[in-house]
Structure formats: structure tokens, C-alpha cells
């Protein structure tokens, strides 16, 4: 009898009365002002040609409708697959394509494009005579390869029946006359399950195994029926297609997850998945065979046969054993490069050398050569020529990196330390080396005409905000000459050099009231600059939004920054404090000095996107966007062991600053965030009384459901159970009395943020007497895609702010 009464009481709590007119089962639309932001036009994507004298511009349409997003999907082995077109699920395609000359600005229209145009990817041929693109049309079920003859300005189809589930739709061969593609094999049919199980689904582990970490994943295989569908969908037939449309199959069909042509066009590096599959991890951990084949598909050399990996050692620096990150050396005819861990992939093991980088050249009959021995993890290489490559290593736990200059044609030559530092130190960042396509279409280091310098482009972080730059750096001593530095009146980012001397560049230039456009800039004494594009302002009604990069400190002296936005025409002295929405995302740091560095720029365009908090400026709210929320753990200290205390200190400092400035009413401030920002929001409502309401989108709230780590947390639950519990707002739901709005996609596939997280958190807050609302968006993943979903999200957020934040607080509250 007692159990029955308890069950009844629980039912009464779960189904308590909801005011009429507030619960909604239909999609909603926000105010006209917010709707106009959701429907604002997007700027085209721009791709520079190999000779950097032409631009390809690809325009994207408005948000897709729910009828597009609700298309049938296969969810297998961590993939979302649109089985009708045999491609990854995608809902945004290019719907307009044209070319433009850099020098003259003349636009070149293209004839013969398929209609309706639906471009998933595009790429220039190495000789720039053609531009290929992948056309995916969900309505007809077609997945095809097209090519544009640049000189003629005409497009034509080369091949149909592509299967692009596992990777790129195409790769140009170095002769610019052929492309590598993957086709759907003929004759096979998608296995259909009758729904009758053939037996239990069994998993087993042996005794005496080592401790491994397996993160939580969505869309995993569940049974043999799933495995057969996955096998069918992933099986492709490699083929070479000529620009005349001749199709030549290459080798046999298999479950390829990587196909790459050598720079000389003579060999094919293939990676294919094999059984056994796993019910614990996605496809990236399945067994695979890595091989070199000739261009007829004949196997010439096996690089590695890698086993199934169902978990790694604890720590973010853990890696699988064996060959990893295998690729072609970009500046050599046919040389493979890869890394292998020397510490069994376990960061807890002591090892003077953790990774070795190997090279092996065609015909692959000699033992691999050692290119570099690294004390931390291999982080990639950038290739220039026989005596110049930059090899990087990185250790996540300390955030330290090193870059070595090596001579790949002479691996016996000792590497030279070229650069070292902390990835967190934005002020010291020298930028990324500039890469350009060579004659074979491979990205290589751009060097000065004398070969003695490279070029680097960086954000130029500084105490005054980001000021992008272009430097020429001498290889001999590492010294740099600044060729371009964005002024303090606008934000201008170099996107490409037009010559090896660094005299002429293309930049992306913007101001708070002017959206990014491309400019041609002469770096000689004249300093002339000319606009190449003139994309209009997408939301002219909000052109005069006010923005300021503000600085303040938290109680322990850590310097913080945020971007403060105020509605057009607002004057604090005249209009008084406003209701304010604070939108944030925490970040982990290993030093207070790095956490205190200024991020962002006051001169960037005020891009009012439907995704962030800025649309609510149109409804009279102030917005504090991206206030610093550093969680610091210096030395051996773990940042998350003081997560709540630091989070509270960050929020208190931000609130005090906007109140001090007179722009925000202390009693009318809301906090919100997406994903880890939603986790932050629930924690702030549980552990502070700073806010009138919270908006938590697609978050995770119970860390025992992500027991093998989350975000930057390396330890598992059993190593840090107190921290997991202290950080989980689900464990403190009884403290959340501030109204909180939960929004989540019903099909969220992000690791850790399962829809159940929001459902259970809502039930906890509601069952414990708190005020909450849960909005689950059908057919949506971690990022919402359908126009109906976006408009509903905006309407729900605005209504929550209007109900709980905008009104003046009642007396005594």
C-alpha cells in the first residue's frame, strides 16, 4: 500500500497543472523583428583559384524547412546518413555559383548548371581550367559529379551514382584531367530487417584488462541488422572519371573510409573498414586495413592492419597504438608519413620519446625512415621542399607545443627547434604558415623568392583586441618582418597572397556596421586598397547596434573581458538600466595569465545571427556576449576541482560590471548558453542568486552519465567522483528556484548531450517545485537546422525573457 501511494504521489508531481495557452505542441513564430533576423540573407562562400586570379562564389539559401530536415536518416556507427542519395545528412547546399576576376572585378556567369542547384562541395583543378562540384538532390535521389569549363563558362555532368558517405566527393588527380570518386556498387540492395531478432545482443570483456576510457556516443550499431545496413551503405567502388566523362573502376568494392592519390598520381593510399564492428564506439575506432595500390587498384603494399579500439588509456593525450595520421608527403612524388606512439598511447607512462614520425617512399620495399622523435604527441606537418618541413608536437595537459624545422630529404640531419610555447598564449601566437597549391594541387609552404623565408598569418591578439597581421619570417633565425597589420579602425584579415614577394594580398575587411567583404590590397608604398565584393548588410534595421569590448576583474584579480551590445539609439543616462541577457561558454586554462588575455575585437562586424543572443537587441534587451568564464588549474591543480567557485566568481564579476556601468538592472538579468554553456547556466542557477531566468539549450546536466570524461575533464568518474557530483546541476536540482527554459533537439548526436539529459533535468526541477519549461525539437540534432525549429527557439526564448526578466520585480522579491 505504501509503495502504491508513493507511486501515485510521483505521478501527481510529474503531471502537475500547466497554465492554459502556455503549453505548445505546434511550431511557433516569434515577432516580426526576430523573424527578419532568422531570414536574413547569408554572404556567399569564396574559394580562391590556384593562381589566385579568380574567385568562385557559392551562395547558400535561407534556412531549410522541416520537410527537408525530416528526411529519412540511417543512424549507424556514429554516422547520420541520407540513404536515398548515399551521402552524409546535410541540409544546406549552395544554390548559386559564379566566378569573379580578381583584377577587374568582372563577374563570370556559368551556363548549364543543374536546376535546382544543390552543391555539397567544390574544388579547383590544379591547372585552374576546371572547377568540379558535387551536386546532391534529395528530391530526385541523385548524387552526381559536375565540372565547369572555366574558359567557356559552361557546366556539364561527368558522372552519377556517387556514394559520398565516407569522405570527400572527389579528388583531382595532378594531371587536372581526371578525378577520383567513389560510386555505389551495382546490383546490391539495402538489407531490410523483418524486425524479428535472431538472438540476444551480447558483449563481453576479458579479465585482467587495463583501465580504458570510452566516451559516450550516439547512433551506435545495436545489432547484426544494423551492421548489415552499415556494411551495405559504406561499401563503395573507387573509380577515376575523366573530364570527358569516361569512368574507369579502380580495384574492388569495399568499405573505404579514406582514398588519396599520391602527388605524382601513380599510387592510391586506401583505408578500409573491416569486421568485427563494435556496439560501444563509432566507425572511427573500427578495424581498418591501410594499403598502397596502383591506379588500377592492385595492392602493392600493406602499411598496417589496425585492430578494433574499444577505449583508450585515461587522458586527453591518449592515442591508439600503431600507425596513425598516415598521409602523403605533399612535396614529394610518393612518400608516406605517419606517427606511432612509443608509450603504448598512455600519457601516464613515462617516456622520453612518446611519438616517432616515420617516412616511407615508393616503391615501399625499404624499411621506413625516422623523420622525427618527439617528446609529446605528433600534431601534423607542413611541407615545403626537400630541405624544409615544419613538424609540430603538442601535449594537451600542459598546453605546450613545439615546432621543429626538418629536412625530409635528409632525415639524418638533426631537427632544429623553430618555435615553442603555450597554445593558450594568444598574445605570443606567431600565426599559421601560409600554404599555397603547387602545380600538382598539393598545399605546400609559400616561401619567398630567395627561399629563405615563409609567411605567416595570425589573429594578432593583444590587450587592445585582435589585430590580424601578415609576417614574413626568416628561416635562418626565426625573426619576422611585419608586412601588414590591421588598423585600429576596422578588422581586416589576410586570406591570401597573390605573389611570392608578399606585395599584394586579398583580405577580408569588416567594421561593426559593415559585413565582411573581400579587398585587394597593395602593400607597396602606395598602400592602395580596392573592394572586390560588396555584400549588403543582412540586417540593416540593426546597423546602429552599439558594441564595446569591456574589461573587468573577478575577485581574485583574474582579468576578464566581454562584448557588451546595446540597442540602437540607447543612451544610458537618458534611458536607464535595461534588462540584460548574458550568453557564455566556460573554458579551461592552465594559467591565470593566459585566462586574462583579451579575446575578440571591437571592430568586428555586428553579425546578428539567429543562433546567438544578439537578436534580442531588437526587442530592447542589452546583451553581454561571451563574457570570460575561465576555469583555471595551474600546475598540478585540476581546473574542475574548483569549477563552481570559479564559475560563481566569473558571473559575479560580469554582473557587477554591467550594473556599475548603468546599462543593466541587477534584478533583470538572464543567463544562457548552448551545450557546455547550458551546463554552466544550470549550475549558475543552482549556486547563485544573480539571475532572474536561465535559457539552457542542448546541455548535459548529470555527469555520471558521461563517466569517462567530458569537455576538458580527463579523469573518469571513479577517479574524481566528488568533482563529478559537485559539477552536476542534476545533483543540486532542489536549489534551482529561478525559472529555467530547457531546449533540446530530439535527435542530438553530440557526445554526452543526449536528449535524456534535458528531459531528466526538467523532471528533477519540476518534481522539486522549481519552475521550468522543456521544448524538445523534432528531427533536430545538437545544432538546430529547420526554419520552423529556429523560429520556435527564438519565440520560446523571447517569451521566457518577456515573462520572467523584462517586468520589474515585485516588491519583496
Active-site residue set: 675, 748, 782
Residues 6+ positions from 225 with CB-CB distance below 8 Å:
191, 193
SS3 call for 391: strand
Q: How far apart (Å, rounded) are the C-alpha atoms in residues 494 and 661? A: 35
Cell numbers at 511, concatenated: 567594421
Q: What is the 3-state secondary structure (H, E, C) of 735-782?
A: HCCCCEEEEEECCCCCCCCCHHHHHHHHHHHHHCCCCEEEEEECCCCC
Closest by alpha carbon to 517, among 504, 529, 528? Answer: 529
Q: How far apart (Å, rounded) are the C-alpha atoms in residues 32 and 366? A: 69
Full DSSP string of 452-505: SEEEEEE----TT----EEEEEETTT--EEEEEE--TTSEEEEEEESSTTS-EE
Cell numbers at 686, concatenated: 543552482
The secondary element (H helix, E strand) that includes residue 180 is strand 178-183
Residue 78 near residue 221 (C-beta atoms within 8 A): no
What does R_g of the chain's alpha carbons equal in angstroms? 28
How many residues does the structure list for the chain?
A: 813
- HSE-up of 454 (CA within 13 Å, CB side)? 25
Quickly count: other Cβ atoms within 10 Å of residue 266's Cβ: 14
DSSP letter, residue 537: P
Q: How far apart (Å, rounded) are the C-alpha atoms in residues 26 and 691? A: 29
Full DSSP string of 571-630: -HHHH--EEEEEE---EEES-HHHHTS--S-TTS-----TTSSGGGGGGT-EEEES---E
Residues 6+ positions from 228 with CB-CB distance below 8 Å:
191
143-to-157, 655, 799 alpha-carbon distances in Å: 11, 52, 42
DSSP letter, residue 376: S
Which of left, alpha, beta for 129 (phi over 0: left; psi -120 to 50: alpha)? alpha
Q: What is the 3-state secondary structure (H, E, C) of 63-81?
A: CCCHHHHCCCCEEECCEEE
Q: How far apart (Å, rounded) are the C-alpha atoms in residues 6 and 13? A: 11
DSSP letter, residue 26: S
Closest by alpha carbon to 754, among 703, 694, 684? Answer: 703
Residues 6+ positions from 77 with CB-CB distance below 8 Å:
219, 220, 221, 230, 277, 282, 283, 286
The residue whose grid cell reads 615544419 is 390
Quickly count: other Cβ atoms within 10 Å of residue 267's Cβ: 23
Residues 6+ positions from 796 with CB-CB distance below 8 Å:
28, 741, 743, 773, 775
The residue whose grid cell reads 608578399 is 502
27-to-30, 696, 759, 794 alpha-carbon distances in Å: 10, 19, 19, 11
The residue whose grid cell reads 548552448 is 674
Residue 80 near residue 749 (C-beta atoms within 8 A): yes
Amino acid at each position: 500500500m505504501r509503495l502504491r501511494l508513493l507511486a501515485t504521489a510521483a505521478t501527481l508531481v510529474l503531471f502537475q497543472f500547466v497554465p492554459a495557452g502556455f503549453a505548445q505542441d505546434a511550431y511557433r513564430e516569434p515577432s516580426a523583428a526576430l523573424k527578419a533576423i532568422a531570414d536574413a540573407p547569408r554572404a556567399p562562400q569564396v574559394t580562391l583559384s590556384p593562381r589566385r586570379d579568380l574567385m568562385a562564389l557559392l551562395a547558400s539559401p535561407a534556412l531549410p524547412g522541416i520537410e527537408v530536415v525530416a528526411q529519412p536518416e540511417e543512424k549507424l556507427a556514429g554516422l547520420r546518413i541520407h540513404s536515398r542519395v548515399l551521402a552524409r545528412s546535410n541540409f544546406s547546399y549552395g544554390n548559386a555559383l559564379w566566378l569573379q576576376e580578381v583584377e577587374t572585378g568582372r563577374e563570370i556567369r556559368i551556363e548549364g548548371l543543374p536546376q535546382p542547384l544543390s552543391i555539397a562541395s567544390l574544388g579547383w583543378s590544379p591547372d585552374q581550367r576546371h572547377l568540379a562540384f558535387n551536386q546532391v538532390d534529395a528530391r530526385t535521389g541523385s548524387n552526381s559529379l559536375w565540372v565547369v569549363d572555366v574558359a567557356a563558362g559552361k557546366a556539364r555532368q561527368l558522372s552519377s551514382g556517387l556514394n559520398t558517405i565516407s569522405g570527400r566527393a572527389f579528388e583531382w588527380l595532378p594531371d587536372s584531367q581526371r578525378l577520383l570518386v567513389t560510386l555505389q556498387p551495382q546490383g546490391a540492395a539495402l538489407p531490410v530487417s523483418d524486425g524479428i531478432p535472431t538472438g540476444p545482443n551480447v558483449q563481453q570483456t576479458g579479465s585482467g584488462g587495463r583501465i580504458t576510457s570510452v566516451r559516450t556516443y550516439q547512433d551506435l550499431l545495436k545489432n547484426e541488422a544494423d551492421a548489415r545496413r552499415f556494411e551495405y551503405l559504406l561499401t563503395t567502388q573507387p573509380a577515376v572519371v575523366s573530364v570527358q566523362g569516361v569512368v574507369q573502376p579502380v580495384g574492388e568494392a569495399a568499405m573505404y573510409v579514406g582514398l588519396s592519390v599520391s602527388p605524382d598520381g601513380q599510387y592510391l593510399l586506401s583505408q578500409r573498414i573491416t569486421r568485427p564492428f563494435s556496439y560501444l564506439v563509432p566507425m572511427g575506432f573500427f578495424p581498418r586495413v591501410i594499403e598502397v595500390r596502383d591506379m588500377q587498384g592492385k595492392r602493392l603494399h600493406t602499411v598496417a592492419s589496425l585492430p578494433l579500439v574499444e577505449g583508450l588509456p585515461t587522458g586527453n593525450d591518449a592515442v591508439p597504438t600503431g600507425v596513425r595520421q598516415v598521409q602523403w608527403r605533399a612535396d614529394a612524388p610518393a612518400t608516406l608519413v605517419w606517427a606511432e606512439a612509443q608509450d603504448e598511447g598512455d600519457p601516464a607512462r613515462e617516456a622520453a620519446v612518446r611519438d616517432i614520425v616515420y617516412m616511407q617512399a615508393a616503391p615501399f620495399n625499404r624499411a621506413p625512415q625516422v623523420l622525427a622523435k618527439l617528446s609529446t604527441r605528433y600534431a601534423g606537418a607542413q611541407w615545403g621542399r626537400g630541405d624544409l618541413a615544419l613538424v609540430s608536437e603538442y601535449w594537451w595537459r600542459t598546453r605546450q607545443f613545439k615546432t621543429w624545422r626538418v629536412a625530409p630529404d635528409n632525415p639524418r640531419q638533426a631537427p632544429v627547434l623553430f618555435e615553442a610555447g603555450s597554445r593558450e598564449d594568444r598574445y605570443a601566437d606567431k600565426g599559421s604558415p601560409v600554404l599555397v597549391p603547387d602545380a600538382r594541387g598539393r598545399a605546400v609552404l609559400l616561401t619567398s623568392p630567395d627561399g629563405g623565408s615563409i609567411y605567416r598569418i595570425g589573429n594578432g591578439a593583444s590587450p587592445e583586441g585582435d589585430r590580424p597581421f601578415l609576417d614574413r619570417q626568416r628561416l635562418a633565425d626565426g625573426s619576422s618582418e611585419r608586412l601588414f597589420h590591421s588598423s585600429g579602425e576596422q578588422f581586416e584579415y589576410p586570406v591570401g597572397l597573390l605573389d611570392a614577394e608578399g606585395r599584394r594580398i586579398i583580405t577580408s575587411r569588416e567594421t561593426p556596421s559593415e559585413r565582411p567583404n573581400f579587398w585587394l590590397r597593395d602593400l607597396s608604398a602606395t598602400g592602395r586598397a580596392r573592394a572586390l565584393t560588396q555584400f549588403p548588410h543582412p540586417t540593416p534595421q540593426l546597423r546602429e547596434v552599439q558594441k564595446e569590448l569591456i574589461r573587468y576583474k573577478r575577485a581574485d584579480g583574474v582579468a576578464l573581458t566581454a562584448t557588451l551590445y546595446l540597442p540602437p539609439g540607447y543612451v544610458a543616462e537618458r534611458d536607464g538600466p535595461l534588462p540584460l541577457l548574458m550568453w557564455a561558454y566556460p573554458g579551461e586554462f592552465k594559467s591565470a595569465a593566459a585566462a586574462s588575455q583579451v579575446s575578440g575585437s571591437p571592430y568586428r562586424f555586428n553579425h546578428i545571427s539567429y543562433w546567438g543572443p544578439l537578436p534580442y537587441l531588437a526587442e530592447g534587451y542589452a546583451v553581454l556576449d561571451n563574457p570570460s568564464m575561465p576555469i583555471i588549474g595551474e600546475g598540478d591543480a585540476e581546473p574542475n576541482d574548483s569549477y563552481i567557485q570559479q564559475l560563481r566568481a566569473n558571473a559575479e564579476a560580469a554582473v557587477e560590471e554591467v550594473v556599475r556601468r548603468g546599462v543593466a538592472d541587477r534584478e533583470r538579468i538572464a543567463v544562457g548558453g548552448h551545450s557546455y554553456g547550458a551546463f554552466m547556466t544550470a549550475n549558475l542557477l543552482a549556486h547563485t542568486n544573480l539571475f532572474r531566468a536561465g535559457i539552457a539549450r542542448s546541455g548535459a546536466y548529470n555527469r555520471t552519465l558521461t563517466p569517462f570524461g567530458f569537455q576538458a575533464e580527463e579523469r573518469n568518474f571513479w577517479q574524481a567522483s566528488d568533482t563529478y557530483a559537485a559539477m552536476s546541476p542534476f545533483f543540486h536540482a532542489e536549489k534551482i528556484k529561478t525559472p529555467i527554459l530547457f531546449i533540446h533537439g530530439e535527435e542530438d548526436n553530440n557526445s554526452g548531450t543526449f536528449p535524456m539529459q534535458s528531459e531528466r533535468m526538467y523532471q528533477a526541477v519540476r518534481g522539486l517545485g522549481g519552475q521550468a519549461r522543456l521544448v524538445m525539437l523534432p528531427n533536430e540534432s545538437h545544432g538546430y537546422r529547420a526554419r520552423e525549429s529556429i523560429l520556435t527557439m527564438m519565440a520560446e526564448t523571447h517569451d521566457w525573457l518577456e515573462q520572467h526578466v523584462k517586468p520589474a520585480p515585485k516588491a519583496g522579491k
